[in-house]
A and B are shown apart, each in its own frame.
Chain A
Amino acid sequence: MSFERNFLLAAVALAALTPLVAHNEYSLHIGIMIMFSVMLATSFNLIVGYVGEFPLGHTAFFGIGAYSAALFAVRLGTPIYFTVPLAGIVAAISGLAIGAITLRLRGPFFVIVTLCFAEVLRLVANNWIDLTNGPMGLSGIAKPALIVGATGVEQKLWFYYAGLALAAASLVVCYRFVYSNIGRAAVAVRENRFVAQSIGIWPFWLGLVTFVLAAAISGLAGGFYAHYISYVGPEVFGFSFTITMIIMVLAGGKGTLAGPVVGAVIVVFLEEYLRDFKELRFSIFGLIVIAVVIFVPRGLMGFVGRRHETYQRKTAGHEGDKENKQERLQPTLEPAGFNQRGAADA
């Protein structure tokens, strides 16, 4: 817990200081993409790591956020300071509706039903031309009035710090959420649904609360994205955004707050470096996903965390009192998602 908090604080501090060194448009653009990816990965991780279900259509909320920010900005001329929070709110409301339907299902059925929702939304965005402008998408989403006429670097700098503020705020909310009673109850449900129910936890309600929070964060990311790219098309509902989220959370380690942050940084840099391989990069990407599932199933932070635990127990063991030895015999809590389909998950 304290390790995670210190890690996140250090990461935010480092991110706040980075523009002093990397003061050019390209590095700032990568920085902005990292901020945006951190938000998406954190949101996805809330459901994968803390509800224990796998929302393959999570990009639905990102898309809803992006479209609602774009619509408010283009059709009504609402400034960015209102559209981005509104995007979060709209996404949270749709999260409530979609979550109430999908969370009744579990396992592969949840996976496929969420995917169905994302696909339906993509088709609606493609076909409801009066509202969404169809496949053409909505373009010309206004940048904030403050930076109109500023140089490219200054504009990027503004978006970088706005993104950092949003990402940091999302992480703070998630941290408070995960280490609250609700978050602990969610972990209890994830680890053993029936035991959790027997002590009075209502899994559906917990899932729904987490789902709405995750949807809101995705929506914020979507609104931010819409204003930064200044164009939104039906592809925001596409499978590729979900895949990026999955890989970020998977590589970083689900069920930890630091994991998705690390994963987002890795994936954004990896995508930039793999550009040299041109078309081959997607094939390499696929192979990396397979390799991660097989060789580092708990992700990077899961791996580091386990090393950290063994190290702590080793140093404690050297002091040699019996209490610590007894502690060593107790099994450590399995990380997220390793709840095998056994008696606990019938």
Chain B
Amino acid sequence: MDFFLQLLANGLVTGAFYALSALGLTLVFGLMRVVNFAHGELYVIGGLLGWALTAVLGWNYFLALVVVVVALGILGYLIDQVLISRVRRQGEEPTILLTIGLSIFIANTALLIVGTTPVTVASPFASKPLILGPVVITQARLVLVVICAALIAAANLLIQKTTLGRAMRATFQDPMAAQLVGIRTSHIYGFTFALGATLAGAAGMLLGSIYVVEASSGGIISLKAFVVVILGGMGSFAGAIAGGLILGLTEALWGGYVSTGYVDAIGFGLVILTLLVRPYGLFSRRAERA
């Protein structure tokens, strides 16, 4: 039983982290409908930048986090306005190719600059273990789960309650109508992508203090993020949380009880099953078919 509780705790924590790393993609893929295969690379850029600022230059962690957020925001805005805007409304295929090209470029350039060694972001949170009954968890992870929840809540508030969020939703529902009521849709696209990039970069830096950051790990992060978004349903933050938790829990339980070899295959199996049985995601309210 204790073993089960520990697995449950591990699964929930990993699940929260999955949700965090998929948050940017929920916006960009779920809402904006850009199949962004460079998502993982944006995450990696955030992690590497965080490492360079904290571990190499010795900056304060939170100052570095602000810099990462701003830098990724600018980068995301530029990527959207310079590259993605050229293939907007041409179906998803050119976008997929464009982001794949971008991810090849970013990953290999990062490899050239940083090399293949995994690095870690220097973090102020203690890695001291916290013992809660039968469950052991480190402080740093607990703090991150809280930050993660706060970020998700903030992003959700932004989309649901603010004028900007309403403009974003209007733009992605019907760009023409949004333009007619005076929304500058091109800025909205740029801003949404920037926000997605920011969330990806912040996730990279936050999780880079617990796990390692590798220049070449972007591909697998993109894939897992797609798994989370599809499991949860397109464009809903609650869905992203649920998707992350389901993935984290299943992987932890499978790894604990069945075998560790196929843990990575679980997510993909789940996606294949989900798309077959409920093609609009597990928790999507809109009956939108794939």
Contact = CB atoms under 8 A, between A and B. Distances in A.
Interface string A95-109: 000000100111111
A130 B105 CA distance: 38
Contacts of A110: 290
B100 A243 contact: yes
A299 B271 CA distance: 33
Nearest to B37: A56
B178 interface: no
Interface residues of B, number: 44
B92 A109 contact: no
A280 B35 CA distance: 26
Interface in B31-63: 33, 35
A345 to B, nearest CB: 8
Interface stretch (A8-16, A37-45, A181-189, A281-289): A281-289
A107 B104 contact: no
A232 B127 CA distance: 43
Nearest to A105: B290
A310 B212 CA distance: 56
A250 B272 contact: no
Contacts of B158: none
A115 interface: yes
B89 A54 contact: no
A290 B105 contact: yes
Contact of A127 (B89, B261, B268): B261
Interface string A276-304: 00011011011111101110010000000
B264 A294 contact: no
A286 B103 CA distance: 7
B108 A282 contact: yes
Nearest to B87: A293
Nearest to B102: A290
Given A105-B290, A297-B94, A283 B109 contact: yes
Contact of A340 (B90, B96, B112): B90
Contact of B101 (A112, A113, A290, A345): A290
A286 B108 contact: yes
Interface stretch (A117-125, A169-177, A264-272, A317-325): A117-125
B31 to A, nearest CB: 13
Nearest to A114: B272
B86 interface: yes
Interface in A66-120: 101, 104-113, 115-117, 119-120
A336 to B, nearest CB: 10
A285 B219 CA distance: 17
Given A101-B272, A113-B271, A283-B105, A338 B90 contact: yes
A108 B108 contact: no
A8 to B, nearest CB: 25
B258 to A, nearest CB: 12
B230 interface: yes
Interface string A33-66: 0000000000000001000001010000000000
Interface in A225-264: 239, 243, 246, 250
A223 to B, nearest CB: 25
A280 B91 CA distance: 31
Contacts of A338: 90-91
Contacts of A108: 29, 33, 35, 92, 96, 290
A116 B231 CA distance: 13
Contacts of B264: 119, 123
B153 interface: no
B136 to A, nearest CB: 29
A294 B98 contact: yes
B211 interface: no
Nearest to B260: A127
- Give the one of B83, B87, B227, B290 with max A CB within 10 A: B290
Contacts of A109: 230, 275, 279, 290
B105 A115 contact: no
A124 B101 contact: no
A339 interface: yes
A287 B91 contact: no
A285 to B, nearest CB: 6
A305 interface: no
B87 A294 contact: yes
A337 interface: yes
B278 to A, nearest CB: 12
A293 B98 contact: yes
B97 interface: yes
Nearest to A294: B86
A286 B96 contact: no
B271 A285 contact: no
Contact of A286 (B87, B104, B265): B104
14 contacts: A101-B276, A105-B275, A105-B279, A105-B290, A120-B269, A282-B104, A283-B108, A285-B104, A286-B108, A287-B105, A289-B98, A289-B101, A290-B98, A340-B90
Interface of B: 29, 33, 35, 83, 86-87, 89-94, 96-98, 100-109, 111-112, 219, 223, 226-227, 230, 261-262, 264-265, 268-269, 271-272, 275-276, 279, 290
Closest 3 CB pairs of A and B: A286-B105, A289-B101, A286-B104
Given A113-B272, A282-B104, A286-B108, 5 more contacts: A111-B92, A112-B226, A119-B268, A285-B108, A290-B101
